[in-house]
Amino acid sequence: MSPSDPYKILGVDKKASQDEIKKAHRKLVRKHHPDHNPGDAKAEERFKEIQSAYDILGDPDKRKQYDRGSMFGMGGGAGSGGPGGGFTTGDFGGFQDILSNLFGGGGGAGARGPQGPRPERGADLESAVAITFEQALRGTQIPLSVATTQPCPTCRGTGARPGTSPKVCPKCQGRGIEAQGQGVFSITQPCSRCGGTGTVIEDPCATCNGAGAQKTVKKYRVNIPAGVREGSRVRLAGKGEAGRHGGPPGDLYVVTHVAPSPIFVRKGDNLEVEVPLTIPEAIRGADVEVPTLNGRKKIRVAPGTQHGTVVKLRGEGPPKLGKGTKGDLLYRFVIDVPATLSAEQSEAVEKLSAVMGDDPRAKLFS
């Protein structure tokens, strides 16, 4: 399997939706996660490839850039996206430079300053975690393994053997682009010698083979704040991919997948519970015991309560993420109608029907 094709790595079609890509990534992560395959080097390497592929396809903007690069012959090569292949924002900078040359304007993300390539911010990463309903309400700390890259410790990210440095590309003179054709039909494209970087490495680092970075798996203990819900994104600043050319690192986003509760159902910032009532309780009223997030409580059912009536306990719901307040608990009363009746019950219903008065449906035809 070629590590340069993220679609093949995740096993999805190029027309796959973002949801299909997310599901495929989640399935592969569960299978190849290092925590589930201790001591298995192949599983760890596969996990790194999966995370690198999802870093591209999981971000709609990066995916568009990768697809465009493939159309122009710029995406997917082993040297086109930094370590491990793939198409990154830095690669798209070369294409932006082409457009700038054609129509005027400044350089793109891969533009070079007077002293060499400009610093580039590292890519953001995303990783998913599974937590219980109770952990989501109260907050928790969980271990997390993330496949990422870090600057090569031998060459300090330059890609060149220690004691040497990248040289200005002799073909494009450091511009990263070259022209083809003549006159009005002349166009520019990434330099065939340096691939658009503006520099060449004549003596590559033996540790990283000139890539300037190495794949690694970093382990964190992540604090999940109280109040997260299904799909919440927790940002860990500076824990993403390392920047290029001295640029700052990206961020790591932790996406929470919360197990459902057998009792409570999320309704925005609130939680809802269905409370069954007997017919006599709905008619006469009653004090019924209901679950809360901290035990049990009795609430009053008013006489004549209708099916679907909602009673609210303000401020006793889940924490609101980042707001310091709490939502509400909503109790929806559901009248429990028995499927079968005993003879005594049938007789009681007949007597009740006889004294209840007018048909409530009569107004529909008046």
- Gap between the Cα atoms of 144 and 125, Å rounded: 13
CA atoms of 149 and 223, how far apart (whole Å): 23
Whether the Cβ atoms of residue 112 and residue 198 lie closer than 8 Å to each other: yes
Tell me which of 9-23, 55-69, 154-168, 299-313 is least confident: 55-69
What per-residue confidence (pLDDT) applies to 347? Answer: 85
Neighbouring CB atoms inside 10 A of 59's CB total 18
311-324 residues labelled b (16+ CB within 10 A) or e (exposed): bebeebbbbeeeee
Distance CA 235, CA 224 (A): 10
Which listed CATH number (3.30.70.260, 3.30.428.10, 1.10.287.110, 2.60.120.1130) goes with 6-258?
1.10.287.110
Higher pLDDT, 225 or 359: 225
The answer on pLDDT for 23 being more than 70 is yes
| 245 or 305: which leads in pLDDT | 305
pLDDT at position 183: 53
- Helix/strand/coil for 46: helix
Mean of the pLDDT values across residues 315-327?
93
pLDDT bucket at 186, cuts 50 / 70 / 90 = low
Rg of the chain in Å (alpha carbons)? 31
Asked if pLDDT for residue 71 goes beyond 70, the answer is no
Domain extents in the chain: 6-258, 265-365
Q: Is 287 annotated as a binding residue?
A: no
Measured between alpha carbons, how far is 47 from 154 in angstroms, rounded to an integer? 24
Q: What is residue 20's DSSP assignment? A: H
Name the fold adopted by 265-365: HSP40/DNAj peptide-binding domain (2.60.260)
pLDDT above 70 as % of the chain: 80
Tell me, what's the pLDDT at 286? 94
205 carries a ligand binding annotation: yes
Average pLDDT over residues 325-350: 90
Which ranges of 72-132 does DSSP label H, i.e. alpha helix?
A: 89-103
| Sheet (strand 252-258) strand order | 125-131, 252-258, 233-236
What are the two backbone dihedrals, phi and then psi, of residue 131, each rounded to the nearest 5 degrees?
Answer: -135, 165
Is 191 annotated as contributing to ligand binding? yes
Phi, psi of 235 (to 5 degrees): -95, 130
Same CATH fold assignment for domains 6-258 and 265-365: no
DSSP state of 123: P
Predicted local distance difference test score (pLDDT) of residue 4: 64
Residue 152, annotated ligand binder?
Answer: yes
Q: Indicate whether 280 pLDDT > 80.
A: yes
Confidence of residue 295 (pLDDT cuts 50, 70, 90): very high
Q: Is the pLDDT of residue 328 over 90?
A: yes
How far is 193 from 211, CA to CA, in rounded Å? 16
User: Cα separations (Å) of 15 from 53, 61, 67?
Assistant: 15, 15, 11
